[in-house]
């Protein structure tokens, strides 16, 4: 039982997935995920010091939406996911999955979950493990073998179905965990760092799987440190810092509001100095047989290009520099700090 609980979302009773008609019309209309004042605090057994894991989370994720949860290590992402999936008990507040309270076992019948560090019985083969996960997730007995075989093939592990898990690489185990989370075709999928341990091909495959689930109407909530994956997959992104939800917005809006820069590469400038009036808006680096000019504002591009052409310097490339995840975190943290200062003033 224990292995399936962390490799995929299952109920210990092995109940089949809840049908729409069984949970009522009001639950059908509810968001896929709703949290109201959700909190988690930890008290040290030695010092009795209280540490905040998550504070007063208010969040709604609509059905069919893909939401990315962003934040540095220790920000509260994993705590949030563990609270929603029943692996941790909230200190305060409440949450609902598909209209069912997280206090009820029924909320997990249509949930697929992949933790950051899933646990596996290493003496099982890949097919055996997925059959176990399928059975515990409520798949009808006559469908278990077909479902397990399908998902083992789908994640690229079907060539050796009896290979013991102790011989799997970390990337192979990550794929297997994802298959276990999907074997019962859940309506809600929660993934904690699903790209962890995967090579570029593996990351591509996981992205395709998430997009497939989105196309079939599955709601997906996942945490990640990889901004391009969030941009490619998510409708919205939520930034958590220090246990608090600091910002939630469409992905494009978050990235567009980040620090914008433009990189201009040209032939070496040598002893030629940049105009003093450009100030800190343009930063220069001489390396690799060319000069790089980093522009702080896009409206400086034409001015810089005209200046280079007037001096007979060939331009090699003009490249927009996207906002980095670190820049988004810093900008969000600075904004949160400013709001706190204004409230206390």
Average pLDDT of every residue of the chain: 84
**What is the pLDDT at residue 200?**
85
Burial class (CB in 10 A: 0-12, 13-18, 19+), 43: exposed
The model's pTM: 0.76
Higher-scoring residue by pLDDT: 280, 152:
152
For the cut 50, the answer to whether the pLDDT of residue 341 exceeds it is no
Rg (alpha carbons) of the chain, rounded to whole number: 24
**What is the pLDDT at residue 47?**
84
Q: How many CB atoms lie within 10 A of CB 119?
A: 14
Q: How many whole angstroms separate alpha carbon 78 and alpha carbon 220?
A: 15
**What is the pLDDT at residue 18?**
40
Contacts of 261 (CB under 8 A, 6+ apart): 294, 295, 296, 320, 321
* Cα dihedral 22/28/234/243 (nearest 10): -90
**What is the pLDDT at residue 44?**
83
**What is the pLDDT at residue 6?**
37
For the cut 80, the answer to whether the pLDDT of residue 11 exceeds it is no
List the single range of 24-28, 212-216, 317-321, 327-331 with lowest mean pLDDT. Answer: 24-28
Position 269 confidence tier, pLDDT thresholds 50, 70, 90: very high
Mean pLDDT for the stretch of residues 143-151: 96
List the single range of 81-95, 230-244, 319-333 with lowest mean pLDDT. Answer: 319-333
Name the residue among 237, 178, 239, 248 with its Cα closest to residue 213: 178
Position 235 confidence tier, pLDDT thresholds 50, 70, 90: very high
For the cut 50, the answer to whether the pLDDT of residue 7 exceeds it is no
% the chain with pLDDT above 90: 57
Q: How many whole angstroms separate alpha carbon 307 and alpha carbon 320?
A: 19
**What is the pLDDT at residue 324?**
63
Sign of CA dihedral 29, 33, 38, 43: positive
**What is the pLDDT at residue 322?**
67
Sheet with 290-295, side-by-side order of all strands: 282-287, 290-295, 261-266, 315-321
Q: Which domains does the chain have, with CATH numbers?
A: 2-256 (3.40.50.300), 261-321 (3.30.70)
Q: How many CB atoms lie within 10 A of CB 310?
A: 8
List the single range of 65-74, 115-124, 246-255 with lowest mean pLDDT. Answer: 246-255
Q: For residue range 85-112, list pLDDT tens digits in order.
A: 999 999 999 999 999 999 999 999 999 9
Name the residue among 64, 52, 69 with its Cα closest to residue 245: 69
> 144-154 vs 126-136: helix axis angle to the nearest 10?
130
Sheet with 188-192, side-by-side order of all strands: 111-114, 188-192, 219-224, 66-70, 236-241, 244-250
**What is the pLDDT at residue 337?**
53
65 phi/psi in degrees, rounded to 5: -90, 150
For the cut 80, the answer to whether the pLDDT of residue 9 exceeds it is no
Strands 219-224 and 66-70: parallel
Mean pLDDT for the stretch of residues 59-82: 92
Q: How many CB atoms lie within 10 A of CB 40?
A: 22
For the cut 70, the answer to whether the pLDDT of residue 32 exceeds it is yes
């Amino acid at each position: 039982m224990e292995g399936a609980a962390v490799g995929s979302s299952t109920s210990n009773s092995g109940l089949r997935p809840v049908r729409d008609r069984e949970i009522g019309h009001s639950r059908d209309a509810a968001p896929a995920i709703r949290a109201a004042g959700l909190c988690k605090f930890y008290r040290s057994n030695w010092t009795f010091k209280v540490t905040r894991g998550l504070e007063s989370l208010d969040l709604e994720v609509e059905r069919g939406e893909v939401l990315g949860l962003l934040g540095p290590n220790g920000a509260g992402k994993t705590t949030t996911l563990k609270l929603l999936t029943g692996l941790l008990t909230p200190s305060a507040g409440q949450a609902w999955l598909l209209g069912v309270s997280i206090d009820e076992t029924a909320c997990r019948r249509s949930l697929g979950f992949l933790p950051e560090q899933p646990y596996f019985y290493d003496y099982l083969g890949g097919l055996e493990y997925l059959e176990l996960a399928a059975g515990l997730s409520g798949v009808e007995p006559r469908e278990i073998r077909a479902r397990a075989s399908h998902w083992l093939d789908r994640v690229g592990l079907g060539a050796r179905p009896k290979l013991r898990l102790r011989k799997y690489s970390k990337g192979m185990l990550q794929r297997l965990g994802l298959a276990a989370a999907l074997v019962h075709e859940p309506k809600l999928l929660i993934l904690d760092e699903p790209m962890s341990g995967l090579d570029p091909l593996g990351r591509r495959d996981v992205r395709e799987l998430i997009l497939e689930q989105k196309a079939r109407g599955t709601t997906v909530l996942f945490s990640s440190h990889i901004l391009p994956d969030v941009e490619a997959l998510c409708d919205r992104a939520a930034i958590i810092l220090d246990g608090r939800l600091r910002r939630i917005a469409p992905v494009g809006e978050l990235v567009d509001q980040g620090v914008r820069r433009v990189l201009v590469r040209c032939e070496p400038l040598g002893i030629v100095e940049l105009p003093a009036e450009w100030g800190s808006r343009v930063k220069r680096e001489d390396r690799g047989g060319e000069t790089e000019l980093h522009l702080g504002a896009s409206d400086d591009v034409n001015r810089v290009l005209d200046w280079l052409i007037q001096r007979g310097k060939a331009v090699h490339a003009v490249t927009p520099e996207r906002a980095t995840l670190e820049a988004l975190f810093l900008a969000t943290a600075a904004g949160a700090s400013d709001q706190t200062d204004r409230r206390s003033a």
